[in-house]
Amino acid sequence: LTLTLTLTLTLTLTLTLTLTLTLEKLPDEGGIILLDIANAYSTTDRALGLEKIRKHPDTAIRNLYPLLLSANSPECTPKGVDITVATGVQQGCPLSSIFFAVAIHDSLLRLRELTGNPAVAYQDDTIIPTNNLKDTLPLIEKYAELLFEDVGVRLNPNKTKIITRDADRARATLAELAKDNSFFSNFKLGCIPDVDSNSVQFGGGLGAMINGTPVGDSTFVHYQVDKATNKSAAHMRRIVKRLAPQSTQAAILLLRNCILPRMSHMMGSVRPAVIEPYLERLDDEIKEHFRRLTRLDTTLKYLSETELAVVEARLSLPIALGGVGLVPLKDIAKAAYVATIVQSIPRLVKRTIDFVELAAAMPQLTDWIGTDMGDTDTHRRLATFTSKEVMEKSKCATAFFIAHAHLQHQDATGLYSI
């Protein structure tokens, strides 16, 4: 289970940030293709998957073989009927994600060879960035055939989505392919629900959610972040409403934590300039609920401006410092974004690197980046990511520089410690 969580976290962070950068760099005729496998866990060829587990070069993976063999034992369903898993693996079993990842690995390698693109999969969702959709899309049907032969699963054309900056060109390509082959007739451009995929343009809500991160134009990103904010706020209101009559203290404890899991992922993968206004909105609502629970508003109207400022400051202070512990999410956004990029790109930087060394990754770039850090592949990638050229072309990289510079300034002035 630890291995599963580690692999999931690393791949999720790496994939979403890399694709955000990729979309910015792709030419207009290029794009990102998102494929979905229908009923992935339940239809995977069990015998083939187990054989791959048994022969896997990694000892930790091979050791899962006997556990997976016993994972098809009869289960008693709520209706009292025993069911034995004869094919695939059980949905929700902690071993299933590893089983499926190992089973599909060879197919992914064949997809990369077939398209010449760095395809990557997050369980049953496969993502293919390409410089030319017209060349890559016809190969998807061939991959669907290979996937069924190798693993026994089928692609779901109804859930295939495309993200591209030139929507008209992509639709024309799909229409041309669909004339001769109905397989492509259900391929669509990803977009927000209120927009028609047959007419959407880049800038009007075109994009798709990839591992919980919105990838697309500004309208799409704002729509998804606003949606997540509204869900978090609604969740918070339900908790306060149900718990307040029983225990004010319990409501306050949950109030301080209930919105973090939903927003923490986005804080690491959505640019601070985009997400901060939404986090500020949540911060204000948290404080409003706190005042209502504690009846603080009754007291506040008798306080002077200085006393009010002290109360507001104590709301945001950690409990260890005598505060309430409602640390503003808006203040965390920049640190979360910087930390995610530093941790997510495989072998981009040494694990022992600290923020003093990383000070070079600020807008005031120097020759130190490309020389003193060595000439290995790792350091060349760091030099490229922190280069002026990348900073000028990539909004994602620019946001990293700005956020990091802001944190360095806060640290230097004693306002914030990383």
The predicted pLDDT at position 188 comes to 92
Query: For tokens 């004010």, what's the residue?
Result: 248
Cβ proximity of 398 and 391 under 8 Å: yes
Nearest CA-CA partner of 328 in 368, 271, 387, 285: 285
The predicted pLDDT at position 359 comes to 41
The predicted pLDDT at position 322 comes to 67
Cα–Cα dist 176/50, whole Å: 41
Nearest CA-CA partner of 343 in 269, 258, 289: 269
The predicted pLDDT at position 352 comes to 39
Q: What angle do CA 125, 21, 262 make, to 5 degrees?
A: 60
The reply to whether the predicted model has a pTM over 0.85 is no
Query: Which backbone phi and psi does 122 adopt, to 5 degrees?
Result: -115, 95
| Helical segments of 74-217, H only | 96-115, 133-136, 139-151, 167-180
The predicted pLDDT at position 288 comes to 81
The predicted pLDDT at position 205 comes to 92
Q: Across the 418 residues of the chain, what is the mean pLDDT of every consecutive 10-residue run? A: 36 49 73 88 84 85 80 52 62 75 86 84 84 90 89 89 92 91 90 90 90 84 88 77 72 63 74 87 82 72 74 72 72 77 48 40 35 48 63 68 63 37
Nearest CA-CA partner of 89 in 109, 63, 62, 70: 70
Nearest CA-CA partner of 160 in 132, 131, 128, 130: 128
Q: How many CB atoms lie within 10 A of CB 357?
A: 12
